[in-house]
A and B are shown apart, each in its own frame.
Chain A
Amino acid sequence: MSEPAQSSVVDQQAPVGKRAITRWTGPGWLWLLLLVIVVVATLVAENFLSSRNLSNVLRQMIPLGIVAVGQTLVILIAGVDLAVAATISMANTALMGIVAGQTANVPLGIAVALGAGLVVGLVNGVVINLTRVPALIVTLGTASIVTGITFLYTGQTNFGEPAQIMNDIGFGSIGPIPILFFLYALIAAVGLIVQNRTSFGLHLFAVGGSEKVARSSGIRVERVRLVAYVICGTLAAVAGVAMSMRMGAGEPLSGIGFDWDSIAAVVLGGTALTGGRGGIGGTIGGVAIISILNNVMNLAGVSSFTQIVVKGIIVLIAVVLAASVTRRVAGEARAFVTGKMRRAAGGEAAAG
C-alpha cells in the first residue's frame, strides 16, 4: 500500500521542480535554440559579437520586448491584443505632437501618451467583458479606431518634434548597454515577479486554464481580464514612448507590424494561445531570438523582403514546436491519470 503512494509523490514532484525553474526562464529548448542561433550568427557575420553590434541588438529588443511582456499577460488568459501596433503609433505621435521640441513639455507628453494607451486597454477590457465578443475582433476594432484617430490627429504625415533630452536618453548608453534597455529589463523583471509571486499572476494562469473553474474558485475573472488588457495597452504606449526617444518626428505608422511580431515572440517563447500555459520568461527568449535574427540578416545584407519570408518560416516552425509541446503535455497528463487509476485499482486489489 505505502509503496505506490510514495512513487506517486515522486512522480508529482519531478515535474513540479522543473516547472519551478521554467516559470522564470521559459522552456529549456528555447534557450538552446537561442544559443544555436548565436553560434550560427557568429559564424555567418564576423562582426556579430562586436560590442557595438551587440548594443545594437539590445537596442532593437527594447520596443518589441516591452510590448511582448504585455501581450504575454493577455495571451495567458486566452486573449490577444491586436491593437498594440496602433497604440504604439498613437503614443508616438501624441508624445511628439505635445513636446514639439520643448523639453518642458516632455513630462506632459509622456503622461498623455501613457494615458492614451491605458484608455485603449481599458476599452478593450471593458468591451470584451461586457459583450463576450472574441478578443481578436474587439482589439481589431479598437485598432481600426485608434489608427483612425491617429490619422485624423496627424493628417497622416510626420508630426511633431522631439526635445533634445529625449534623443539624449534614446541614443545614450551606460557602457555598451543602451539606457532604455534598463527600462525593458525592469519591466520584464517586474512582470516575472508579478506573474510568479503575486495572486494576480496566479489568477492569470487560472483564468487562462479554465475560466469556469477560475470563476467557481472565487476569482473575479472580469477584473483579472480588465487589468491584463489595461497593462497590455499601457505597455504598448511605453514601447511607443521608448521608440520616440530615437526618432526625429512622430510617424503615424511607426507601430506597424508590432501586433503580429509581439504575438510571434510570445508564441515562440512557448506560451499557448489557448491560455494558461507559458509566461514572460519564454517571451524574453522569443524577443531575443527575433531581434538577433533580424540583426544577423541585416548584417548579412539580406533584403528586407526576404526577411519577411524568413519571419514567416520562423512563425511556422514555432507553431509546429508549440503543437508538439501541447501534444506532449497532453500525453503526460493522460499517462499521469491512467497511472494513478492503475495504482488506485492495484491498491484496491491489495486491500481487498
Chain B
Amino acid sequence: MSTVSDAKGAATAAGLFTAVKTRWAVFGPWAILLILIVGSALISPAFMSTTNLVNILRQAAPLMIVALGQTLVILVGGIDVSVGALIATTTVIGGSFMRDSNAMIGPTILLVVGVGVVVGLVHYLMIVRIRTDALITTLGTMLILSGLNLIYTGGAPRSNVPDLFRKLSDGRLLGIPLIVVVALVIAGVLSFGLRRSTFGRRIYAVGSNRAAARLAGIRSNRVEGLAYIACSVLAVISGLALLARIGTGDTAAGEGMELDSIAAVLIGGTAFGGGKGRVEGTIAGVLILTVLFNIFNLMGVSRFAHLIVKGVVVIVGVALYSTRRREASS
C-alpha cells in the first residue's frame, strides 16, 4: 500500500519537475530578465524612472525587429549575418533619398523594402535552391552590402531625414514611442502567426526535419525562402526604426546588430539548427541585452568592460539553455 503511494508520490514529483522544466523553457528568459530588472533597480535608483524605462524600450526596438526576423531564419535551421550591413544600407539610402522632404518618405520606404526583398531573394536562390552554406553565403552578401555602402557614401554620413520621419521615434502613442509600438505589433503578428497559422506550423516542421516535412507535402523551399525574405525585410524595417531614432544614415549603423540579434534569439531559447523556439523568448533576449547595456551606462561602467560582460552573458545565457536541452534529451 505504502509502496504504491510512494510510487504515486514519486510520479507526481517527477511530473511536477517535468512541468517546471517545460515551463522553465518558456519562462526562463523572462525570469532572467526579471532578476536583471530587480537587480538594476536596487543598484541604480534612476533605472526605474519612466524616462529611463521608455528609453530602454526605444533602444530595444530596432534590435527587437531584426531579432524577430533572425528568429524565423534560425527556426528553419539557417542563420543570417548580413542583417547588420542591410540595416546600414537602409539608413544610408534613407538618409540620402528622403532629401528633407516629407513627400519622399513613402517612395524611399518602398525602395528600401524592395532592396530588402532582393537581398532575401538572393539568399533564397543560393541557400535554399543551390543549398550553399547559410553562414558563408550571408557573410558574402554582408561584405557586398558594406562595400556598396562605402562606395556610395564615400564613408561620409547622410542626414537628410525630414522631421516627420523622425516622429517615428519621438512621437508617442499612449506614452509609448511609435517605433516601440511598431516593434510590438510585428512581434504580436509573428507570435500569433507561428502559433496559430499553417505557415507557422510549416516553419517548425521544416526546421525540425526538412525531409519529413517534404514527405508530408510541405513545400519546404518556399517556407525557407519566405523566412529569409521576411528576415531581410524586417532588417530593413529595423534600419528605418534606427534611422528615425538617430536621424543619420551611416555605414557604421547596425554594426554588431547581426551578432546581437543572433545572441538575443539564442538567449531567448530558440535552438540553433531549427525547429524549436518562440518569438516571446527572443523579445526577452533582446530586453536582457538592452537592460544590461542600460544599467552599465547608468553605472558609468567603461564601454570596454561592456564588451567583456556582453561576451560572458552571451555564453552563459546560451549555456543555460543548452544544458537544459541536454537534460531533456537524456
Question: Which residues of A pack against B, CB within 8 Å?
Answer: 80, 127, 131-134, 136-138, 140-149, 151-152, 156, 260, 263-264, 267, 273-274, 303, 305-316, 318-320, 322-324, 326-327
Contacts and interface: CB of A to CB of B under 8 A. Distances in A.
30 contacts: A80-B135, A127-B315, A131-B318, A131-B319, A131-B323, A136-B272, A137-B266, A137-B272, A140-B311, A140-B314, A141-B311, A142-B315, A144-B307, A144-B308, A144-B314, A145-B312, A148-B305, A148-B310, A260-B143, A264-B139, A306-B151, A308-B146, A309-B147, A309-B148, A310-B147, A311-B147, A312-B141, A313-B140, A320-B126, A323-B132
B103 to A, nearest CB: 31
A316 B137 contact: yes
Given A141-B311, A145-B311, A308 B150 contact: yes
B135 A144 contact: no
Given A133-B319, A303-B151, A305-B147, A322 B133 contact: yes
Given A273-B135, A305-B150, A309-B144, A152 B302 contact: yes
Most buried by A among B131, B133, B325: B133
A137 B150 CA distance: 28
A-B CB proximity, top 10 nearest: A312-B143, A148-B307, A308-B147, A144-B311, A309-B147, A312-B144, A145-B311, A148-B308, A315-B140, A151-B304
Given A132-B322, A312-B140, 4 more contacts: A148-B311, A305-B147, A312-B145, A320-B130
Contacts of B266: 134, 137
Contacts of B326: 132
A167 to B, nearest CB: 29
Contact of B143 (A137, A144, A315): A315
B72 to A, nearest CB: 18
B263 interface: yes
Interface of B: 79, 126, 130-133, 135-137, 139-148, 150-151, 155, 259, 262-263, 266, 272, 302, 304-312, 314-315, 318-319, 322-323, 325-326
B92 to A, nearest CB: 13
Contacts of A144: 307-308, 310-311, 314
A169 B149 CA distance: 38
Query: Is chain A's binding surface mostly helix, strand, loop or mixed?
Result: helix
A137 B137 contact: no
A318 B302 CA distance: 40
Nearest to A305: B150
B147 A138 contact: no
B324 to A, nearest CB: 11
Given A140-B314, A142-B311, A312-B144, A263 B151 contact: no
Query: Is chain B's binding surface mostly helix, strand, loop or mixed?
Result: helix
A319 B314 contact: no
A149 B308 contact: yes
Contacts of B305: 148, 152
A283 to B, nearest CB: 15
Contacts of B262: 136-137, 140
A322 B140 CA distance: 14
A347 B6 CA distance: 61
A133 B315 contact: yes
B176 to A, nearest CB: 31
A309 B151 contact: yes
A270 B141 CA distance: 20
A273 B133 contact: yes
B304 A152 contact: yes
A313 to B, nearest CB: 7
A40 B135 CA distance: 30
A326 B133 CA distance: 11
A318 B136 contact: yes
A46 to B, nearest CB: 26
A14 B325 CA distance: 44
Contacts of A314: 140
Contacts of B147: 305-312
